[in-house]
Chain A
Amino acid sequence: MINYLLKRLAYILVALFVIVTITFFLMRIAPGSPFASEKNFPPEITAQLNAQYGLDNPWYVQYKDYLVQTAKLDFGQSMKYKDRSTNDMISESFPVSLTLGIEAMLLAVGLGVLIGVVSALYHNKFPDYLATTIAVLGISVPSFILAGLLQYFIGLKLHWLPIGGWDGFKYSILPALAIAFTHMGFIAKLTRSSMLEQNHSEYVKMARAKGLGKWTTVFKHTLRNALLPVVTYLGPLTAGVVTGSFIVEQIFAIPGLGKYFVTSITNRDYTVIMGTTVFYSIILLFAVLLVDILYSVIDPRIKFKGAKKS
């Protein structure tokens, strides 16, 4: 177990190093300067700005500085907004994104599993068709489209929920739903097919023969086995929730990290883009590791690859 974890951690570090290096060199060759919007600078001021951000150093010095800074988790100053560091931005806006993300994940997993179970229990009957339709809709409609439609119909036409902003739970329902919907569809599909597979197995027949009710069998026996594919999906789900937040936060005017990321792309604010990318990568790599550990906790038949050899 310890061996396995160390191996995985080393692997994460290598991946992070590659990511940091690639973003650094890509940003260096990127056209357009963050100072381009203020074109009429005298050359002295441009030189001064370059010196302040270390842009006048040769590339290997900049690269070394950047590596050292990133290792200290210091992502540098914004090039667009004076006196704002990327770290400030992250610590300010990430909690918002985290709240929204967790809410979206709970929605996706909860509703997805529920829909999947219902459609497997009523296989080829009306509830199955209804649930499958919802799942197919979920997979087909992209989050940003759904966000716009929810805003229009539920927010603007029906006035049920606010159409934007961030001021309490009420404000998070529509955006969380928009992010969660696609993943809910996938999870429902996964749950349905793996539940159907389990329903043919002996232990389910046995439980039913003992006289256990339909739903008791599901919750006591079938679901535990059927949920494994869903646990595998948690890794992609985290990635999906993060990238989903980019647009959805912007549509609903939520001051989260995703919104800042997209704004920094439009502004060509290179330090912020680099910092946020690295930050996102750290989160996602650890999320995948967490899912793998969780996976083996849930199903003891799965052995860690690294642990076998020791």
Chain B
Amino acid sequence: MTQKIPVEKFNIVGIDNSKNDQLAKKSVSFWSEVWHRFSHNKLAIVGLIIITIVALMAIFVPWLSPYKYSDVLGNFNHPPSAKNWFGTDDLGRDVFTRVWYGARISLFIGLSAAIIDLIIGVAWGSIAGLAGGRVDDIMMRIADVLTAVPYLLVVIILLVVMQPGLLPMIIALSITGWVNMARIVRGEVLSIKNQEYVLAARTLGGRTGHLIMRHLVPNALGAIIVTMTLTIPSAIFTESFLSYIGLGVSQPQASWGTMASEGNNAIDTAPWRLIFPALFISVTIFAFNAIGDGLRDALDPKLRK
């Protein structure tokens, strides 16, 4: 029952060879996929918004607040009012202003600790992982000994020796903080280094530095970013902890830890002096943790569809 179609009905359309390589759909890069997954995580987005607000307030507080953190206003232990939104402390300083100046210190310490950890940890971990053998053994044993003592104990001892302050705090935080990052990077490197493209790069004469920067770090980037985001809240926590026991920044500078510590002593007369710094420490730690968890879920290739 075939019907014959006359040849005239067909005509040649021709091929446009220039479009051979074009993709039917716009390709989705790895990072836009990550962002897609991240932006669907409500908790992580809330965290991102909180951190943005805290960071903006911390940066712009000198222009937004009529007072300085060390200004003595003359009304002591005043409860929150229209003039002093978060009340005043026992020296008559505006708690609202001091909270945001405290945010500066906390964020600064959190970020610098994370960056120093990143630099030392990535270098240490990737060298140990790449070199392997005895070098790896020795480097990792050193890391083991450093983690044998609890982190806070080391930091406390170091701060007793160096005079308390911003720089000693950052040094003390990063002196053992990088070990965790080094471990994770080493693990990633060990799993990556035996893959073909690394071998290819090596055969083509790539030097170790080139291998680390061009091949290993980009592939371990996910794990590195997550570890870094989760370092920040722990550094912020440690800073407020140390400030609380009097090893942090000195007066009249404001830090969330010192404010909470002073607030705790005045808890029956001026509870707002504890509650506001407490709220901001907790909210900030929460926000960074939420972002870190969100990033981990977004970067985990097991969840890729």
Q: Which residues of A contact B (CB under 8 A)?
A: 14-15, 18-19, 22-23, 26-27, 29-31, 136-137, 139-142, 144-145, 147-149, 151-152, 156, 239, 242-243, 246-247, 250-251, 262, 265-266, 268, 273, 277, 280-281, 284-285
A273: which B residues are within 8 A, CB to CB? 157, 160
Docked-complex contact B245 and A26, CB < 8 angstroms: no
| B112 is an interface residue with CB less than 8 A from chain A | no
Partner of A19, one of B148, B151, B163, B290: B148
Report if B218 contacts A (CB, 8 A): no
Q: In the complex the two chains form, what is the Cα distance from A18 to B237 in whole Å?
A: 27
State the CA gap A268–B161 with chains docked (Å): 10
B252-281 CB contact bits vs A (8 Å, 1 = yes)? 000000001101100110010011001001
Whether B153 is near chain A, meaning CB under 8 Å from some CB there, is yes
- Is B247 interfacial (CB 8 A cutoff)? yes
9 smallest beta-carbon distances between A and B, as pairs? A140-B286, A15-B148, A145-B278, A239-B150, A243-B152, A148-B264, A30-B161, A141-B282, A26-B161
Out of A19, A139, A251, name the residue touching B289 (CB < 8 Å): A139
Give Cα distance in the complex from A145 to B157, angstroms: 23
- A27 contacts which chain B residues (CB < 8 A)? 160-161
Q: List A contacts of B163 (CB < 8 A).
A: 31
Q: In the complex, which residues of chain B have a beta carbon less than 8 angstroms from the beta carbon of A262?
A: 245
Known: A26-B157, A243-B152, A277-B157. A265 touches B237 (CB 8 A): no
Q: A27-B161, A152-B274, A247-B245 are in contact. Are A136 and B145 (CB under 8 A)?
A: no
Q: Is the interface of A mostly helix, strand, loop or mixed?
A: helix
Interchain CB contact under 8 A, A142 and B285:
yes
B289 touching A140, Cβ below 8 Å: yes
> 0/1 per residue, B133-161, Cβ < 8 Å to A?
00000000000110011111100111011
Is B244 in the interface zone, CB < 8 Å from A? yes
Query: Nearest Cβ distance between residue B52 and chain A, in whole angstroms?
Result: 18
**Closest CB of chain B to A257's CB: distance in Å?**
13
Q: Which residue of A lies closest to B267 (CB)?
A: A152
Docked-complex contact B267 and A19, CB < 8 angstroms: no
For residue B152, which residues in chain A have a CB less than 8 angstroms away from its CB?
239, 243, 246
Between-chain CB contacts (< 8 Å), 19 pairs: A15-B144, A26-B160, A30-B161, A140-B283, A140-B289, A142-B281, A144-B261, A148-B260, A148-B278, A151-B264, A152-B268, A156-B268, A239-B150, A243-B153, A265-B160, A273-B160, A281-B148, A284-B150, A285-B148
Determine the chain A residues whose CB is within 8 A of the CB of B126 once the complex forms. Answer: none
Q: In the complex, are the beta carbons of B267 and A26 less than 8 A apart?
A: no
Q: Could you say which residues of chain B place their CB within 8 Å of the CB of A280?
A: 150, 153
Q: In the assembled complex, how far is the CB of residue B191 from the closest CB belonging to chain A, in whole angstroms?
A: 20
Cα separation A149 to B161 with both chains bound (whole Å): 32
The answer, among B150, B245, B260, for a CB contact under 8 Å with A145, is B260
Query: Given A144-B260, A152-B274: A265 and B240 within 8 A (CB)?
Result: no
Bound together, the chains give a CA A273 to CA B159 distance in angstroms of 12
Q: Is the CB of B240 within 8 A of A142?
A: yes
B286 contacts which chain A residues (CB < 8 A)? Answer: 136, 139-140
Which chain A positions have C-beta within 8 A of B290?
136
B206 within 8 A of A: no
Question: CA separation between A46 and B75, bound complex, in Å?
Answer: 46
Report B-chain residues with C-beta under 8 Å of the C-beta of A14.
145
Contact of A23 among B157, B260, B267, B283 (CB under 8 A): B157
- Given that A152-B274, A243-B150, A284-B150 are known contacts, is A29 also in contact with B244, CB under 8 Å in the complex? no
Q: Are B267 and A148 in contact (CB under 8 A)?
A: yes
CB neighbours of B275 from chain A (8 A): 149
Partner of A30, one of B144, B153, B160, B274: B160
Would you call B132 an interface residue if the criterion is a C-beta within 8 Å of the partner chain's C-beta atoms?
no
Q: Is the pair B244, A144 in contact by a Cβ cutoff of 8 Å?
A: yes
Contact: B285 with A247, CB < 8 Å?
A: no
Question: Does the CB pair A15–B145 fall under 8 Å?
Answer: yes
Cα A30 to Cα B163 with chains together (Å): 9
**Taking CB as reference atom, which chain A residue is nearest B155?**
A243
Complex interface: chain B residues within 8 A of A18 (CB)? 145, 148
